[in-house]
């Protein structure tokens, strides 16, 4: 199915309905001050999904009742895998393994590249071209280079032709870590949370283009809240 | 009507509830302990044993009862206990007081005293578990679990490596395996599921970990379609999902 990039109507820049001021919101779930965010990327994403109809959607963020229910009600089978949490658990296990190794042991398996490869041998194990839609959120900003490129490549193989990936990138190094939840067809909710990782980079446009080079088309929405929403149609 | 007669076997924290609101629960206190009310009392619907008193003969008697959450009476503080001081954990001396009773403090009321079986935290079951009543799992099960009309509850310490097929499934522990809840699946905030989930309603608590495919069955028959169309104001009945609030997540 050919990718559809332009919904009817004028495209407005994404804007935050309420922005959490930096420093005012602790990045711990214990004192959560959620904020809503009008999202043109989400609107475009849903418009793309209308063209696809029913299908399979992969959410790589934490399982959220509203997000899952939102897409299930639209006829999607939702697969959920909290990639950051899974990666954190994997690294914790690796650390324990490394501590038990004798000093003279071969540690070639413990390099970032080897770890990334082994991680993906046990995660995101789906047949190729399973998904019509992927919610990537801002996960790529928090993965190291080895894993980030492998995850992007794995996603490319998992997405069907005509499928669409919705991703978020920070335009500046983020002060707070947020999880995202779909509130409705036009709004996302940002939920401050504790991040297991430091942000690894701020993507330049060219880097994003290279990462999603195999996709047929892409569109970016830049928000005033230092978030870029990207849509990539395979 | 369910009857719960064994007061001596009812430990602190036990919550006895009858599913039939028109039925009554008969609760007997042990005569030797001389607690009030009189030896035989009837309560409606539900009773919670709030505190216990260890008696000489290694059985328990309640000294406080609540009915429907309201404390009905309490043993006067100036009365001498008939037993040694109650600093000894009462359930430890009570025969057949299921460890699950002690572990139920944080759970929702409806799972405190299941009418069916309990797999306690000390048990490991390998094989096929079949039945029709409810099952509470706080131990480990490897194999399959199939309940024709019951609810499977995985407690916080429960660990299931099995496919589960039941009317209702509540997960507060770890499950590796496919979940098929014909009516409902609830994943609590401490729950972790690896395996496909198929149900007609799902509730996910804040913090639940799910590494699965979630599939909601569509309502096909015409009777349900009419009812659902009415309830949803004309929305498509084929994709009706009732999302239930679970855990502490807001806005669901």
Report CA B67 to chain centroid distance, whole Å: 17
Q: Which domain holds residue B221?
A: 117-239
Query: Residue B177 pLDDT more than 90?
Result: yes
Does B150 map to a domain? Answer: yes
- B21, B66: one domain: yes
**Residue B213 — very low, low, confident or very high, per pLDDT cuts 50/70/90?**
confident
- B124, B11: one domain: no
**Residue B28 — very low, low, confident or very high, per pLDDT cuts 50/70/90?**
low
Last residue of a domain, one of B97, B126, B155: B97
Do residues A220 and A171 make contact, with C-beta atoms less than 8 angstroms apart? no
Does B108 map to a domain? Answer: no
Instruction: Calculate the CA dihedral of residues B201, B18, B31, B90 and round it to 10 degrees.
Output: 0
Q: How large a percentage of chain A has pLDDT more than 70?
A: 85
Query: Residue B157 pLDDT more than 90?
Result: yes
For position B240, what pLDDT does the model report? 36
Q: How large a percentage of chain A has pLDDT more than 90?
A: 49
Residue of A nearest to B247 (CA): A65
Do residues B96 and B9 make contact, with C-beta atoms less than 8 angstroms apart? yes
Contact residues, chain A, for B215 at CB < 8 Å: 72, 77-78
Which residues have C-beta within 8 Å of that of residue A22, sequence separation ≥ 6? A175, A176
Does B54 map to a domain? Answer: yes
Query: Residue B51 pLDDT more than 90?
Result: no
Which token pair is B220? 């096909």
For position B41, what pLDDT does the model report? 53
Does B86 map to a domain? Answer: yes
**Out of A65, A80, A81, closest to residue B243 by CB:** A65
Query: Residue B113 pLDDT more than 90?
Result: no
Report CA B61 to chain centroid distance, whole Å: 22
Q: Considering its fold, how many domains does chain B have in total?
A: 2
- B64, B157: one domain: no
Query: Residue A173 pLDDT more than 70?
Result: yes
For position B36, what pLDDT does the model report? 44
Q: Which residue has the higher pLDDT, B81 or A46?
A: A46
Do residues B241 and A67 make contact, with C-beta atoms less than 8 angstroms apart? no
- How many Cβ atoms sit within 10 Å of the Cβ of residue A32? 15
Does B107 map to a domain? Answer: no
- B92, B133: one domain: no
- B58, B170: one domain: no
- B44, B73: one domain: yes
CA A44, A45, A50, A51 dihedral sign is: positive
* 3-state secondary structure labels for all residues of B71-131: EEEECCCCCCCCCCCCCCCHHHHCCCCCHHHHCCCCCCHHHCCCCCEEECCCCEEEEEEEE
**Residue A21 — very low, low, confident or very high, per pLDDT cuts 50/70/90?**
very low
Last residue of a domain, one of B97, B132, B158: B97
Do residues B189 and B207 make contact, with C-beta atoms less than 8 angstroms apart? yes
For position A112, what pLDDT does the model report? 86
Q: What is the mean pLDDT of chain B?
A: 64
Query: Residue A159 pLDDT more than 90?
Result: yes
Q: Which of A71, A80, A123, A185 to mutate to test the interface with B (most CBs of B within 10 A)?
A: A80
- How many Cβ atoms sit within 10 Å of the Cβ of residue B246? 21
What is the per-residue pLDDT across A112-158, written as a single tens digit (0 to 9) for each? 888 999 999 988 889 999 999 999 999 999 999 999 999 999 999 99
Query: Residue B118 pLDDT more than 50?
Result: yes
Measured CA to CA, the distance from residue B152 to residue B149 in angstroms comes to 10
For position A196, what pLDDT does the model report? 83
Which residues have C-beta within 8 Å of that of residue B190, sequence separation ≥ 6? B156, B172, B173, B205, B207, B208
Do residues B229 and B221 make contact, with C-beta atoms less than 8 angstroms apart? no
Contact residues, chain B, for A77 at CB < 8 Å: 213-215
Over range A177-200, report the average pLDDT.
89
**Residue B161 — very low, low, confident or very high, per pLDDT cuts 50/70/90?**
very high
Q: What phi and psi values does residue B130 have, to the nearest 5 degrees?
A: -125, 150
CA B229, B231, B232, B234 dihedral sign is: positive
What is the per-residue pLDDT across B6-27, written as a single tens digit (0 to 9) for each? 333 444 455 555 444 445 555 5
Q: Which residue has the higher pLDDT, B39 or A204?
A: A204
Over range A174-191, report the average pLDDT.
89
Does B248 map to a domain? Answer: no
- B215 to A77: CB separation less than 8 angstroms, yes or no: yes
Report CA B7 to chain centroid distance, whole Å: 19
Which token pair is A175? 């002060």
Q: How far is CA A55 from CA A50, A76, A162, A174, B200, in A?
A: 10, 5, 12, 33, 18
Q: Which residue has the higher pLDDT, B213 or B89?
A: B213
- Which of B117, B116, B147 shows the shortest CA–CA distance to B131? B147
**Residue B42 — very low, low, confident or very high, per pLDDT cuts 50/70/90?**
low
For position B72, what pLDDT does the model report? 55
Does B247 map to a domain? Answer: no
- B125, B232: one domain: yes
For position A223, what pLDDT does the model report? 87
What is the per-residue pLDDT across A74-106, written as a single tens digit (0 to 9) for each? 889 899 999 998 999 899 989 888 888 887 777
For position B9, what pLDDT does the model report? 42
Contact residues, chain A, for B207 at CB < 8 Å: 29, 62
Which residues have C-beta within 8 Å of that of residue B152, sequence separation ≥ 6? B134, B135, B137, B145, B164, B166, B168, B169, B170
For position B174, what pLDDT does the model report? 95
Measured CA to CA, the distance from residue A155 to residue A134 in angstroms comes to 8
**Residue B233 — very low, low, confident or very high, per pLDDT cuts 50/70/90?**
very low
Q: pTM here?
A: 0.63
Q: Which of B204, B219, B240 to mutate to test the interface with A (most CBs of A within 10 A)?
A: B204
What is the per-residue pLDDT across B243-252, written as a single tens digit (0 to 9) for each? 333 334 444 3
- B155, B229: one domain: yes
Do residues B204 and B221 make contact, with C-beta atoms less than 8 angstroms apart? no
- B158, B194: one domain: yes
Does B1 map to a domain? Answer: no
Most confident among A155-164, A196-205, B6-15 (mean pLDDT): A155-164
A213: Cα within 13 Å, side-chain hemisphere: 6
Last residue of a domain, one of B64, B97, B130: B97
Measured CA to CA, the distance from residue B209 to residue A195 in angstroms comes to 16
* Chains A & B: contacts with CB separation below 8 Å: 61
CA B228, B230, B231, B237 dihedral sign is: positive
- B79, B173: one domain: no
What is the per-residue pLDDT across A32-66, written as a single tens digit (0 to 9) for each? 567 788 999 999 999 998 887 778 999 999 988 89
Over range B182-187, report the average pLDDT.
94
For position B115, what pLDDT does the model report? 65
Report CA B150 to chain centroid distance, whole Å: 12
- B226, B136: one domain: yes
- B131, B234: one domain: yes
Over range B81-107, report the average pLDDT.
40
Do residues B126 and B143 make contact, with C-beta atoms less than 8 angstroms apart? yes
What are the structural domains of chain A?
Answer: 29-101+109-233 (3.40.50.150)
Our CA-based measurement puts residue B197 at a distance from the nearest CA of chain A, in whole angstroms, of 10
3-state class of A83 per DSSP?
Answer: helix
Query: Residue A3 pLDDT more than 90?
Result: no
């Amino acid at each position: 199915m050919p990718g559809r990039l332009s919904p009817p109507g004028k495209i407005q820049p994404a804007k935050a309905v309420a922005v959490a001021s930096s420093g005012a919101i602790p990045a711990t779930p214990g004192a959560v001050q959620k904020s809503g965010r009008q999202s043109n990327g989400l609107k475009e994403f849903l418009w793309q999904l209308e063209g696809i109809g029913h299908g399979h959607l992969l959410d790589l963020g934490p399982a959220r009742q509203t997000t899952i229910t939102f897409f299930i009600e639209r006829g999607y089978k939702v697969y959920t895998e909290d990639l950051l949490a899974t990666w954190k658990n994997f690294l914790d296990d690796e650390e324990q393994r490394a501590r038990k190794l004798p000093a003279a042991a071969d540690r070639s398996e413990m390099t970032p590249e080897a770890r990334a490869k082994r991680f993906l041998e046990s995660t995101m194990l789906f047949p190729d071209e399973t998904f019509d839609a992927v919610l990537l959120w801002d996960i790529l900003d928090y993965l190291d280079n080895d894993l980030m490129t492998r995850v992007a490549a794995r996603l490319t193989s998992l997405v069907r032709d005509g499928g669409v990936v919705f991703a978020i990138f920070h335009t500046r190094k983020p002060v707070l870590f947020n999880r995202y939840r779909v509130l409705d067809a036009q709004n996302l909710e940002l939920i401050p949370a504790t991040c297991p990782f430091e942000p690894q980079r701020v993507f330049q446009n060219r880097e994003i283009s290279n990462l999603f080079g195999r996709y047929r088309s892409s569109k970016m929405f830049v928000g005033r809240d230092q978030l870029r929403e990207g849509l990539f149609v395979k | 009507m369910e009857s719960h007669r064994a007061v001596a076997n009812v430990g602190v924290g036990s919550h006895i509830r009858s599913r039939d609101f028109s039925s009554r629960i008969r609760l007997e206190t042990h005569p030797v302990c001389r607690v009030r009310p009189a030896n035989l009392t009837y309560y409606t619907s539900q009773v919670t044993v709030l505190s216990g008193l260890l008696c000489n003969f290694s059985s328990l008697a309640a000294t406080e009862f609540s009915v429907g959450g309201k404390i009905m009476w309490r043993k006067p503080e100036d009365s001498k206990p008939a037993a040694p001081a109650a600093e000894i954990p009462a359930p430890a001396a009570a025969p057949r007081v299921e460890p699950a009773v002690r572990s139920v403090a944080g759970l929702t009321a409806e799972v405190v005293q299941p009418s069916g079986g309990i797999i306690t935290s000390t048990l490991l079951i390998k094989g096929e578990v079949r039945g029709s009543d409810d099952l509470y799992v706080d131990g480990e099960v490897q194999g399959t679990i199939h309940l024709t009309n019951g609810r499977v509850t995985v407690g916080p310490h429960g660990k299931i490596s099995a496919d589960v097929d039941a009317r209702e499934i509540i997960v507060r522990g770890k499950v590796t395996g496919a979940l098929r809840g014909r009516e409902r699946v609830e994943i609590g905030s401490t729950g972790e599921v690896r395996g496909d989930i198929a149900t007609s309603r799902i509730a996910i608590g804040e913090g639940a970990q799910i590494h699965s495919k979630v599939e909601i069955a569509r309502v096909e028959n015409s009777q349900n379609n009419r009812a659902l169309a009415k309830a949803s104001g004309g929305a498509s009945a084929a994709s009706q999902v009732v999302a239930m609030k679970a855990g502490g997540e807001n806005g669901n």
